[in-house]
Structure 1
Amino acid sequence: MVYSMYNSSNEIEDGVLLGRTSTPPRIPIYVKQADFLRHCLIVGTTGSGKTSLAMKLANELKRYGASVVLDWYGEYSRVGDYIVDVGVGEPVAIPIEDPLDAVFLLEEVLDLSSPQAYLLAKLLKKPKDLERVIDLIETYEPEARWEVETKASLMRKVSLLLKYGKVFKVVQPSEVDRLVEFSKGRLTVFNLSNLKTLELRRLVALGVLNAVKYLKERGVFKDSVFVVVEEAHNVMAKSKFLQKYLAEVRKLGIGLIVVTQSPAGLDYEIMNNTNIKVVKALKSADDISAISKSMNLDAKVASLINKLGYNEAVVEAPSLIEPILIELT
């Protein structure tokens, strides 16, 4: 038998109604808002309804704090209370405290080799140097033969970020509270769809995540923050940054809602670091295998995943003894 944490009332003071069990007695399935602070994973193929579900969660969770969305395709503008069209107007503030933080950020975003990261570390003497990194690379005189090719390859990668204009600015963490505004009860959407390259979208996404963390670490924002990360397989992939981020921010009152069409494209540790898992329809055998392994699904439940309807999902949550099939509301 499967149990819900709550009774059959449709009202709950401290949580979100996900749906009801698909078979009688149609038990309502609620998830506490505190459980979302231990992160949520939503997976499903294109058109399965995963973004609609993420929209609903972002809207409902803003009752308990601020909701923030990293919007890959410009789909959340109609539900956002405050929209930041990245790449249009003012650059987005990216907080960087130390030059090595800038190196690590670009190493993650651009998948730099060890020699490329080493050369970049030589060039970036202060955080603001990131804004003029192309000039620094161009004017650098190689000191060894290996640096000649490394300089050229580093320039090619960095150019992917900056050739479309200035969309970000480096700031000290102490400045973030004046430049990035969150408030309880508000859904803030960072629309990334205007950015032309995957690398630029990743840089801004990781920059916003850093900004949220800085605000919470310094006690500038007291309430919880729930962050929807769309296209997580593009933002996170096999990222060490995100593995560490997911583990660290739980104690700060930051919950991520990780949304992806390709769970096989995520690191296994990222999936395991999510407390709630909502599985919509998947078609790829690799994706079904990856999420089934992460949730320890039995063969009977796993066989349902490629047959799920638009309003159906397999859900794992602390309020449940085991993963179950539910009808979403």
Structure 2
Amino acid sequence: MSKQNDFSEHIRNGYTTKGESIILGGAILDGDAIPDTHIKIPLKTLNRHGLIAGATGTGKTKTIQVLSEQLSSFGIPVLMMDIKGDFSGIAAVGEEKPFITERHAKITLPFEPQSFPVELMTLSAQDGVRMRATVSEFGPVLFSRILDLNDTQAGVVSIIFKYCDDKKMPLLDLKDIKKVLNYITEEGKDEISQEYGKISTATTGTILRKIIELEQQGGDIFFGEKSFEIDDLMRIDENGKGYVNILRLTDIQDKPKLFSTFMLSLMAEIYQQMPEKGDADQPELVVFIDEAHLIFDQASKALLDQIETIIKLIRSKGIGIYFVTQNPMDVPASVLAQLGLKIQHALRAFTAKDRQAIKQTADNYPTSDYYKTDEVLTSLGIGEAFVTALNEKGIPTPLAATMMRAPMSRMDVLTESEISEINTKSKLVKKYAEEIDRESAYEILNKKIEEANQAAEEVEPVEEKRKSNEPSTAEVIGKSVTKVVTSASFIRGVFGILTKLFKK
């Protein structure tokens, strides 16, 4: 009993908070939950990012659900990447079942079934709030990544963006960039070579084919206007609960680059648009990125450096980012080092490689006088996890095996009729249902080419009468296009989307 008392005091001291906090569950010692020994995470440290990891079936999904509910209760909006379609039940009231009653009795926490305000979002044609972005907002770096281009091809994409910037031609959707590619390969090749250098037709042909492939994967639906405004992620309902924005990605599981590139662009945009918050009492928004390895897989060193920079900087804007994955080793060490909250569900040791990974994982957690971390990692039950966080002074809390509380909302997905009801009532669904196709690079170039062709037809057909200093037809086209002017300019930052322009 003395050991249990010492442990209880150790945990209580480590997880004591003066300000508001969320309660994850109760501490466990030797397989038993210790009454009134709660694991509390201060709201003011939740912008320090985090990791939720563990093998399939160990309870990661329910942990995310619990965290989202707790955040929403404090008026903190959530953006959740739902790769598998598991989270929509947050919108429905939960049901207290015997195993929930038993669990909450052990950890001495009340269970109050309730629902939370939800927006269902989509990058594709499925029902929900349409999240779109323009090609220009993505910028050349991320657009090249989503197309899986090599360095030479990515360089050509950068030239295209620079050319359109210089000529004040918005790149809004895929037909815009396809038109520019065709133009610089045919009518405008002399102009491009004079101002930016020669471009291989083989390279532009490859890029064009990649864009067509992206169109076939749904890119034509995603790129365009009306662009999504990040302020719509920050909404609070009439009861003071933060909205849980669920981005449903079940129909683009085979298009990970579209998902991961969108996430990076969104984080960069959030960073640019949100004001500095300093040491605030709670975060402005918390983002959960499920299947986080999709962001880091095959990322170049330059891109990883950019991700690391965004993770470092965005917390000063009051944004917390939480990576969810099976193996914590999926997240680069440089990113792991910046994560304040770590929730590690059970890992399974089937092979020597698995055992080595478990040892590495254990080494990433604080040492403990009460646990053999590597052994406990393989014996945690469903809904149990190791937790370590930052206290209000920014000091890591003691490592605590934790019996997680149960979600108060439904632990199952919504029916199709329930999903339809949410979308029908949503103001954002109506707001972003409108598709806008205003004048952009496609229309501007078509118009200028037509004008140049008409001008060429009026030129004296007898070539001998032309003076030596008269411009050729190609030069007429080139000069005509350089006169294109619009009323705005593009300004890009790290990922090329740091401001949204060309809006009505």
Distance 1:17 1:218, change over 3 A: closer
Deviation, 1:229, is 0.8
Q: 1:187 aligns with which of 213, 227, 244?
A: 244
Q: Which residue of 2 aligns with 1:304?
A: 376
Q: Residues of 1 paired with 2:358 and 2:212: CA distance?
A: 37
Question: Is 1:288 matched up with 2:288?
Answer: no
Deviation, 1:19, is 1.6
> Please, what TM-score do these two structures have when normalized by structure 2?
0.56
Map 1:196-215 onto structure 2 (within 5 A): 196-215=254-273
Q: 1:86 aligns with which of 123, 137, 150?
A: 123
Q: Which residue of 2 aligns with 1:116?
A: 153
Q: Residues of 2 paired with 1:213 and 1:172: CA distance?
A: 20
Map 1:22-41 onto structure 2 (within 5 A): 22-23=28-29, 25-26=34-35, 27-41=37-51
Deviation, 1:321, is 4.1
Q: Which residue of 2 aligns with 1:268?
A: 333
Q: Which residue of 1 aligns with 2:387?
A: 315
Deviation, 1:250, is 0.8
SS state of the match for residue 295, structure 1?
coil
Residues 137 and 155 of structure 1 are in contact (CA less than 8 Å); yes or no, is this contact kept in structure 2?
A: yes
SS state of the match for residue 140, structure 2?
helix
Residues 288 and 322 of structure 2 are in contact (CA less than 8 Å); yes or no, is this contact kept in structure 1?
A: yes
Map 1:6-21 onto structure 2 (within 5 A): 6=15, 14-21=20-27
Deviation, 1:202, is 1.9
Deviation, 1:311, is 2.1
Q: Residues of 2 paired with 1:170 and 1:287: CA distance?
A: 43
Distance 1:267 1:171, change over 3 A: farther
Q: Deviations over 1:140-171 (max 9, x none)?
A: 42869983554354345444432234232456
Q: Residues of 1 paired with 2:285 and 2:209: CA distance?
A: 36
Residues 366 and 398 of structure 2 are in contact (CA less than 8 Å); yes or no, is this contact kept in structure 1?
A: no
Deviation, 1:251, is 0.5
Q: Which residue of 1 aligns with 2:180?
A: 136
Task: Tell me how many residue pairs correspond in the alignment.
Answer: 320
Q: Deviations over 1:69-128 (max 9, x none)?
A: 1211222222151111331267423378x67x6112224445543212211111122484
Q: Percent identity?
A: 18
SS state of the match for residue 65, structure 1?
coil
Deviation, 1:249, is 0.8
Residues 287 and 319 of structure 2 are in contact (CA less than 8 Å); yes or no, is this contact kept in structure 1?
A: yes
Deviation, 1:254, is 0.3
Deviation, 1:264, is 2.0
CA RMSD of aligned residues (A): 3.4
Q: 1:247 aligns with which of 312, 315, 318?
A: 312
Q: 1:105 aligns with which of 142, 152, 162?
A: 142
Residues 122 and 131 of structure 2 are in contact (CA less than 8 Å); yes or no, is this contact kept in structure 1?
A: no
Q: Residues of 1 paired with 2:221 and 2:269: CA distance?
A: 16
Gaps of 5+ in 2: 1-6, 92-117, 237-241, 349-353, 406-504
Q: Residues of 1 paired with 2:382 and 2:120: CA distance?
A: 28
Deviation, 1:35, is 1.6
Gaps of 5+ in 1: none
Q: Residues of 2 paired with 1:164 and 1:68: CA distance?
A: 24
Residues 276 and 317 of structure 2 are in contact (CA less than 8 Å); yes or no, is this contact kept in structure 1?
A: no
Q: Deviations over 1:158-210 (max 9, x none)?
A: 4443223423245699x8257x4431321111112222511222233334334
SS state of the match for residue 28, structure 1?
strand
Q: 2:85 aligns with which of 74, 80, 84?
A: 74
Q: Which residue of 2 aligns with 1:3?
A: 11
> Please, what TM-score do these two structures have when normalized by structure 1?
0.82
